[in-house]
Amino acid sequence: MESYSVNLAYKSLAQGTSDTYHAAFAYIWNAKAFPSVLTTAWRVLVNRIPTREGLSRRGIQLNSIACVLCQIKEESCQHLFIECLYAKQVWSLCLKWLGILFVQHNDLKDHFVSFHIAQASSKQNLVLKGVWAAIVRCIWDQRNTILFKQGVVDVEEIFQMAQLKSWLWMKHRAYFHTYSFVDWLLNPSSCIVSIK
């Protein structure tokens, strides 16, 4: 008979779900972003953010479960952050700005893991993962502004706030000590490549 230990209990529970060992969880807490941004990104990756579909599934009565941004499809994590027309536009702006080619996966975890540059170092790719987390956080913030403060969808605003959030983290951590915010806006790849 085997004795009980926390380690054995954890391993037993971990074997029950394949998501536990998804590569996304090896990166999320090391991504270069503010802790609140990473927490939101983690909640999105594990589908624990209160979307309308999730709230409805838990028995909460809502007037509508349509996406707050597009008002067309059901608001699930998958839809809100990847499939929504407005989210796609934000990701497109981000990819163009970073100058990277990227096949957008329909699975959130795969989307996150694939958001990297093959020639970049692991530290540089963690900066990109931080940008991914900032985009997700800014989509969520915009959604809440629309829902609770009668805001309107503004793809440019979502994208610009993500640029600012990611820049502030890099500046705070002294990764970009020789680059200004204008440098970050105009040539993010140079800023990222400078990180050693």
pLDDT band at 12 (very low <50, low <70, confident <90, very high): low
Domain annotation covers residue 55: no
What does each C-alpha distance from 135 to 19, 21, 86, 91 come to in angstroms?
22, 24, 12, 8
Given a cut of 70, whether residue 66 has pLDDT beyond it is yes
Domain annotation covers residue 41: yes
What's CA 121's distance to the chain center, in Å? 20
Q: Side chain identity at 4, as an amino acid letter?
A: Y
Domain annotation covers residue 63: no
Domain annotation covers residue 65: no
Q: The whole model's pTM is what?
A: 0.87
Largest CA-CA distance found in the chain, in angstroms, rounded? 64
User: Could you give the number of structural domains in the chain?
Assistant: 1
Domain annotation covers residue 107: yes
Q: Which residue has the higher pLDDT, 20 or 153?
A: 153
What is the mean predicted confidence (pLDDT) over 131-145? 97
Q: Which residue has the higher pLDDT, 88 or 2?
A: 88
| Domain boundaries, position 102 | 6-49+76-193
Average pLDDT, the chain: 88
